[in-house]
Amino acid sequence: MIKRTLTIARKELIHIIRDHRTLVVLFLIPVVQLFLLAYAASSDVEHLRTVVLDADRTPQSRELIEAYRASSYFNIVSAVANEEELAQAIDSGTARAGLVIPPGYGADVIAGRTVHIAFVIDGSDPVIAQTAFAAAQSVGQIHGVRIIERRLGIATEQMSFLEVQPRVWYNPAMKSVNFMVPALIAAIVFVLTMVMTGLTIVQEREWGTIEQLMVTPIRPAELVAGKVMPYVMISFIQILEILVFGVFWFRVPINGSVALLLGLSALFLVTSLGLGIFISSVASTFHQAMFVVAFILLPALFLSGFIYPLDAMPLPLQLISYLNPLRYMLVIVRGIMLKGVGLEVLMEQVIALVVFGVAIMTFAATRFRKRLG
């Protein structure tokens, strides 16, 4: 019995070793998971992109700006001239926070009067918003205490006369469900169409049904289109399903255009379908396809902002995330649903999806035709 078992085990081991593609992916997946979990799976948010609206323009206001710049939480990226520019920077994602210093701030500091500053925070990501909320108050209070100590010439624990008033936009209650439900739309579209398209075509090849279809007048493009169309319809049904439950059960608002959301979801489908066709062109067996799916899916989810904020990741991973189409779709769906922005604000993401969609679909279709040939 033991001998027969060892013989079968030896045969299976030889089969695995000969399957070079599966073997490579099998050993790469743990390394990818290790790096993603070690570096990307972090909620420690630092260096938040911040714009400044300084309506005072005095040495005192510049000193306050430097106090926020010196902290590890905020990265002052630019100055804006008015509230409209500040709103545009946060709507577009150029900044995640905005420091607003009112006129008369410097005179109030010199006179020792209580001063108020505003701190606008993008609440579409609760993790970032909560960190920015606490850090904005902390930095302001510490700076106020230092001004008092400098004026008195002694160390003091007196409460700061500088009051920071955070204003959380888009998600004032900082509910995590408002952050996750929109993201699920993009994630489900991505996962379902890529996985099901890739695995279905590979399975058809293993069963030999594709070869049977190829002897008919059906062309490769018609074959692929016929295979993926059902999953496109299923994806749209699931999008509508999530929207209905999200709005009526979880009370997630839709502040933008539903038509625009569905239209850009269709654009995103081109990319995910292309990835599915690409998987079917590089994998010879169903098991190979599953490993390739895992190899693509894990980095795509981790490096998109779906689970962990991109701002909390090291700079190299943030740069790599720009090669991830899911990143752009998450910005689109959260921007439309939570911020209510339109196409003019999302144009950068739309152009990126067009480029990715055309490139991936063209490359995948070319490989698929060669594979069938």
Q: Considering the domain boundaries, does residue 32 fall inside one? A: no
Query: In the predicted model, is pLDDT for residue 22 greater than 80?
Result: no
Is residue 131 within 8 Å of residue 42, measured between CB atoms? no
Q: What is the pLDDT of residue 105?
A: 92
Q: Please give the DSSP secondary-structure letter assigned to residue 115.
A: E
Q: What is the pLDDT of residue 188?
A: 81
User: Given pLDDT bands bounded at 50, 70 and 90, which one contains residue 347?
Assistant: very high
3-state DSSP assignment of residue 53? strand
Q: Considering the domain boundaries, does residue 324 fall inside one? A: yes
Nearest to 293 by CA among 371, 150, 197: 197
User: Given pLDDT bands bounded at 50, 70 and 90, which one contains residue 220?
Assistant: low
User: Given pLDDT bands bounded at 50, 70 and 90, which one contains residue 260?
Assistant: very high
Query: In the predicted model, is pLDDT for residue 73 greater than 80?
Result: yes
Looking at the fold, whether 101 and 240 belong to one and the same domain comes out as no
Looking at the fold, whether 75 and 219 belong to one and the same domain comes out as no
Looking at the fold, whether 273 and 140 belong to one and the same domain comes out as no
Looking at the fold, whether 235 and 253 belong to one and the same domain comes out as yes
Encode pLDDT of 120-130 as tens digits: 999 888 888 88
Note down the domain range covering 151.
48-169
Query: In the predicted model, is pLDDT for residue 369 greater than 80?
Result: no
| 187: phi then psi, degrees, rounded to nearest 5 | -65, -40
Looking at the fold, whether 194 and 143 belong to one and the same domain comes out as no
CA atoms within 13 A on the CB side of 160: 18
Looking at the fold, whether 255 and 368 belong to one and the same domain comes out as yes
CA pair distance 43, 320, nearest whole angstrom: 18
As a whole number, mean pLDDT of residues 260-276 equals 90
Q: Considering the domain boundaries, does residue 16 fall inside one? A: no
What average pLDDT does the chain have?
81
**Most confident range, picked from 120-124, 127-131, 147-151, 191-195:** 120-124
Query: In the predicted model, is pLDDT for residue 348 greater than 90?
Result: yes
Residue at a domain's end among 136, 151, 169: 169
CATH of the domain at 120: 3.40.1710.10
Looking at the fold, whether 188 and 288 belong to one and the same domain comes out as yes
User: Given pLDDT bands bounded at 50, 70 and 90, which one contains residue 370?
Assistant: low
DSSP code string of 118-136: EEEEETTSHHHHHHHHHHH
Q: What is the pLDDT of residue 215?
A: 59
Q: Considering the domain boundaries, does residue 38 fall inside one? A: no
Looking at the fold, whether 118 and 197 belong to one and the same domain comes out as no
Q: Considering the domain boundaries, does residue 34 fall inside one? A: no
Q: Considering the domain boundaries, does residue 3 fall inside one? A: no
Looking at the fold, whether 208 and 342 belong to one and the same domain comes out as yes
Looking at the fold, whether 108 and 89 belong to one and the same domain comes out as yes
Total number of residues shown for the chain = 373
The pairing of beta strand 115-122 with beta strand 48-54:
unpaired
> Domain count of the chain?
2
As a whole number, mean pLDDT of residues 30-42 equals 57
- 53's tokens: 């609206």
**What H or E segment, with its residue span, contains residue 267?**
helix 258-282
Is residue 123 within 8 Å of residue 169, measured between CB atoms? yes
Q: What is the pLDDT of residue 251?
A: 85
